[in-house]
Chain A
Amino acid sequence: MIAFVSDAQLLALARGGDDRAFGALVDRYEPAVAATVIGMLGRGDEADDVGQETFIRFHRSLHKFRGESSLKTYLVHIAINLSINALRRRRRMLLRFVSQDDTTMDAPEPRLGPAGELDVTELQAVVQDAVARLSEKHRAVVVLRLFHESSTRETAQMLGVPEGTVLSRLSRAMKELEAQLAPYVKSGAALPEMIR
């Protein structure tokens, strides 16, 4: 039933203190926030915490949200900033406690099915792992441009960089991804249909 209620109506109810309406917004935008945060940080407690913090901050600023941008863009903007902050914290911790050599890991070997094929979950894991191996700057561009299908301009605004920088980072990121994922591209062509 609540699926048919518009964002504006849910926002009005949430502003009035209706937690059920806010919960419906969380359900509606969890995929967008998850794609951003897990795309940037990888799966785990840290990503879960940042995801929660995104919605908690949004709840705190409900009265400030004027609807100048779409709600999805607004939440993705909060999520990407919090993810970048989390990555900075993580980097500081790593610099303090672990040498850079310790952080380099080999790519996990994907498990193949009986006919030597990858199942959807495995293929998703391989792709997500390849994205996680990109540098933070390249990863942020891939997350916004490909996971969210944001335009170059929107991506540039969210990251606070010129549009040309977004394009060059994306181009480099795609080259890196191609090097890692070339064997899977053919099988992955069917992935969108498999997931649907």
Chain B
Amino acid sequence: MTHRPTRPPFAADDRPTDDPLALLVRAAAPRAFSSGFRDRVLAGIGARREASLGSALERQFIRIVPIAAAVTLLLAGYNWWGGRQTAASPLDAALNLPGVTLAAAYAPAQLFGATIASTVSP
């Protein structure tokens, strides 16, 4: 029975030796993905870019919504406070709606403080 010497191990901090097995394994390393790999990578980057733009808009929207809601409530409160004596209902007061009367219906130019002259005569 012949004794085969053990394969020399790799030294502590070296590059692989010229061992035939190491050479064989190294030469068999895969070198490419299936064709069109670069295009798939660039398409993936484009898709992520669009997705990140969408999520950035979403983040901005979520940030703006509470501020817009707070401003709306503040204005509604201010309107209600100012028109609580004269308005027909609290909702009319909050929305600053003028009271709907027959006189107001015949005077459209005066509605909402408009200054245009009315061409309609009663």
Contacts and interface: CB of A to CB of B under 8 A. Distances in A.
A48 interface: yes
Contacts of A167: 9-10, 12
Contacts, number: 132
Interface stretch (B19-27, B82-90, B105-113): B19-27
Given A26-B41, A52-B41, A43 B24 contact: no
A14 to B, nearest CB: 10
A124 interface: yes
Contacts of B50: none
B45 interface: yes
Interface residues of B, number: 32
A178 B7 contact: yes
Contacts of B21: 174, 177-178, 181, 185
B61 interface: no
A195 B31 CA distance: 11
B30 A34 contact: yes
A16 B92 CA distance: 55
Interface residues of A, number: 54
A119 interface: no
A188 B28 CA distance: 9
Contacts of B16: 145-146, 149
Interface stretch (B32-40, B63-71, B73-81): B32-40
Contacts of A124: 27-28, 30
A191 B45 contact: no
Contact of B33 (A48, A178, A191): A48
Contact of A151 (B15, B28, B42, B48): B15
The residue among B13, B29, B42 with the most chain A CB atoms within 10 A of its own CB is: B29
A26 B38 contact: yes
Interface of B: 7, 9-10, 12-16, 19-34, 37-38, 40-42, 44-45, 48
